Amino acid sequence: MAVNQPSALTREEALKIVDELVRTPNIKKHLLAVEAFMRRLARHFGQDEDEWGLTGLLHDADYEVPEKDLDRHTEITAERLRQYVGTERIISAILAHNHKAPMDTTMAKALYACDNLTGLIVACALVHPDKKLEPLTVDFVLRRFKEKSFARGASREEILTCEPNLGIPLPEFIGLGLEAMKGIAADLEL
Ligand SMILES: [Fe+2]
């Protein structure tokens, strides 16, 4: 009798986890943005778009759960994901973005670099006269990137790891992020 056979993680299952743990619409949008960016980066590297997308979609799923113990962030998601088969790399990358595992795969390095850029791009859209992603150019984002006082929460240092860790120059990295996020502009309501 087969009882509780571990199953593979599908996007539907991942969305169930997200909807169960995430309370704030902006965090869900952030997860969707990083999912799209990760899928684009997987394509860039000829890697598994589904696996990279799931990593992006779930990376901050538990962000609001450990109210009193932020240190538990990513560990709660990791526990949930251990119930599925074949999620080791995803778990490791998610833990690594919160400095809880070594950043030893390209997927983990991609997550670390793209996470903060999505926030910077959202901030750029919001200050653009149209308040939309569509008119944003690489130059526009690059100029805001260089303004230290703009969207301070978006760590330039982490974004810039795209160059040494992924071998992607910053302008190209911004272009990939813009392309990915424009592709889901409706979901992001931007
Ligand atoms: Fe994030």
pLDDT in the model for residue 120: 98
Report how many domains make up the chain. Answer: 1
pLDDT in tens, 118-168: 999 999 999 999 999 999 999 999 999 999 999 999 999 999 999 999 999
pLDDT exceeds cutoff 60 at 1: no
Give residue 160's domain range.
Answer: 10-188
pLDDT in the model for residue 176: 98
The answer as to whether 107 is a domain residue is: yes
CATH number reported for the structural domain that contains residue 116 in this entry: 1.10.3210
Distance from the alpha carbon of residue 5 to the mean position of ligand 1, in angstroms: 31
Gap between the Cα atoms of 35 and 111, Å rounded: 9
pLDDT in the model for residue 36: 98
What are the two backbone dihedrals, phi and then psi, of residue 8, each rounded to the nearest 5 degrees? Answer: -80, 150
Distance from the alpha carbon of residue 3 to the mean position of ligand 1, in angstroms: 35
pTM of the predicted protein model? 0.94
Distance from the alpha carbon of residue 54 to the mean position of ligand 1, in angstroms: 13
Distance from the alpha carbon of residue 78 to the mean position of ligand 1, in angstroms: 15
Gap between the Cα atoms of 87 and 55, Å rounded: 9
Tell me the average pLDDT across 6-21. 94
The answer as to whether 5 is a domain residue is: no
Q: How confident is the model at residue 68 (pLDDT cuts 50, 70, 90)?
A: low
